[in-house]
């Protein structure tokens, strides 16, 4: 396994992160335990979850993933072996704090204490804001429209001050962002320095061969300011494994189960781009999924690539990607496809 520092800390996290959002939905408790056992045995010491999981989010399964992880900690007594990341959700869920949009006060207190209780731990290593309070373009949305009424969100320095309280209590160690913009990351960094408040250590945003938009504005911030990317959806919900090629729809797969939820990957040039990337994997005789993951891992702005597998075979394949090499010629070929089909699934 390979390891990198989390932000500017001395904390070493594996460059493959164990994603968990299917646990409690597509994966049973037993299957989830098997993934945790195997991942840790392979040196994957970094796990990512969220209070909102499992996915697709539903009131009936809210918090189920954290509960499964907590049960594993209770059974195996290996909490100290894991660098654990979770997230506080934003608005738009009536069953979650009545849909209130706030990362301060009672909302934040309820979120942190709820996660700690479900996870059966007394601290969280990395606590992330799942998406901004303010109105931003996420999940491929274009045409940003700024309206004055959208400015009714807590000041960033107030959010950081609230997070600082829980750091001082020992409930969280470090903080990070998710689904954030370059403007947002810069403001968090600026205000943390100005007011001597906690510094954001990571940015969990999408990154894959089908979506390299992170490189446009956030990559420079990650490198210059040591706020590394935690890439989610590196396999584009399975499209970059090749399993959906030629109209295939494997039984039990995410798209077969919940296709309406994953429409961000069902775009006009997606299939054409996938086919070209698949051809490159065949040309150089490398596993398609492993090539896709490794491409993410080797980026200079990358801290860790979040792998969400639904079978132990998929997990083994994805973890093994750390041991493969991508030649310069292969990378050049990948870049050529990006020029032809730039970011088909932003």
Answer yes or no: are the C-beta atoms of 340 and 283 closer than 8 Å.
Answer: no
> Among all chains, which residue has been given the structure tokens 């539903």?
58
pLDDT at position 4: 98
Average pLDDT, the chain: 94
| Count of domains for the chain | 1
Answer yes or no: are the C-beta atoms of 293 and 305 closer than 8 Å.
Answer: yes
pTM assigned to the model: 0.95
Tell whether 226 is covered by a domain.
yes
- Region 21-35: mean pLDDT is 96
Cβ-based neighbours of 318, under 8 Å, separated by 6 or more:
16, 235, 289, 290, 293, 307, 309
Tell whether 308 is covered by a domain.
yes
pLDDT at position 127: 98
Of the given ranges (116-130, 173-187, 241-255), which has the lowest mean pLDDT? Answer: 241-255
pLDDT tens for 311-334 read: 999 999 999 999 999 999 999 999
- Region 209-234: mean pLDDT is 97
3-class SS of residue 245: helix
The boundaries of the domain holding residue 206 are 3-340
Strands 302-307 and 16-19: parallel
pLDDT at position 267: 86
- Region 71-84: mean pLDDT is 98
- Region 10-15: mean pLDDT is 98
Tell whether 171 is covered by a domain.
yes
pLDDT at 309 over 80: yes
Tell whether 41 is covered by a domain.
yes
pLDDT at position 92: 64
Closest C-alpha among 225, 229, 222 to residue 304: 229
Report the sign of the C-alpha dihedral through residues 194, 197, 203, 204, in that order.
negative
pLDDT at position 26: 92
3-class SS of residue 25: coil
Q: Which is the catalytic residue, given 3, 38, 53, 244?
A: 53
Closest C-alpha among 308, 310, 132 to residue 231: 308
Tell whether 345 is covered by a domain.
no
- Region 77-100: mean pLDDT is 89
DSSP state of 101: -
pLDDT at position 326: 98
Strands 3-5 and 12-14: antiparallel
pLDDT at position 108: 95
At 178, which CATH number?
3.20.20.100
pLDDT at position 248: 85
Q: How confident is the model at residue 47 (pLDDT cuts 50, 70, 90)?
A: very high
38 is catalytic: no
Upstream peptide bond of 191 is cis (omega within 30 degrees of 0): no
pLDDT at position 149: 62
Tell whether 88 is covered by a domain.
yes
pLDDT tens for 154-209 read: 999 999 999 999 999 999 999 999 999 999 999 999 999 999 999 999 999 999 99
Tell whether 218 is covered by a domain.
yes
Bridge partners (DSSP) listed for residue 230: 204, 304
pLDDT at position 15: 98
pLDDT at position 257: 77
Question: Residue 262 CB: number of other CB atoms within 10 A?
Answer: 19
Tell whether 346 is covered by a domain.
no
Closest C-alpha among 227, 229, 237 to residue 310: 237
């Amino acid at each position: 396994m390979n390891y990198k520092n989390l932000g500017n800390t001395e904390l070493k996290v594996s460059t493959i992160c164990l994603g968990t959002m299917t646990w409690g939905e597509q994966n049973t408790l037993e299957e989830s335990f098997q993934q945790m056992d195997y991942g840790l045995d392979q040196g994957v010491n970094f796990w990512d979850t969220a209070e909102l999981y499992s996915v697709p989010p539903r009131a009936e399964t809210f918090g189920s993933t954290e509960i499964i992880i907590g049960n594993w900690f209770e059974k195996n007594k290996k909490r100290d072996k894991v660098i654990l990341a979770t997230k506080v959700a934003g608005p738009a869920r009536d069953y979650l704090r009545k849909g209130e949009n706030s990362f301060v006060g009672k909302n934040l207190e309820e979120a942190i204490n709820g996660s700690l209780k479900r996870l059966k731990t007394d601290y969280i290593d990395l606590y992330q804001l799942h998406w901004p309070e303010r109105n931003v373009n996420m999940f491929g949305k274009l045409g940003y429209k700024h309206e004055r009424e959208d400015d009714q969100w807590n000041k960033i320095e107030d959010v950081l001050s609230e997070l600082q309280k829980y750091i001082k209590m020992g409930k969280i160690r470090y903080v990070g962002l998710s689904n954030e913009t370059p403007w947002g990351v810069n403001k968090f960094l600026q205000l943390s320095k100005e007011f001597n408040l906690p510094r954001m250590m990571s940015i969990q945003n999408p990154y894959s061969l089908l979506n390299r938009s992170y490189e446009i504005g956030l990559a420079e911030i990650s490198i210059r300011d040591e706020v590394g990317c935690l890439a989610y959806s590196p396999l584009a919900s399975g499209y970059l494994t090749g399993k959906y090629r030629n109209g295939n729809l494997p039984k039990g797969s995410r798209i077969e189960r919940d296709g309406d939820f994953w429409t961000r990957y069902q775009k006009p040039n997606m299939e054409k781009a996938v086919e070209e990337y698949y051809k490159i994997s065949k040309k150089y005789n490398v596993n398609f999924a492993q090539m896709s993951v490794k491409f993410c891992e080797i980026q200079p702005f990358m801290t860790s690539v979040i792998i969400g597998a639904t079978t132990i075979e998929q997990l083994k394949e994805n973890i093994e990607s750390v041991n493969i090499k991508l030649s310069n010629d292969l990378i050049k070929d990948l870049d050529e496809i990006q020029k032809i089909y730039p970011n088909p699934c932003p």
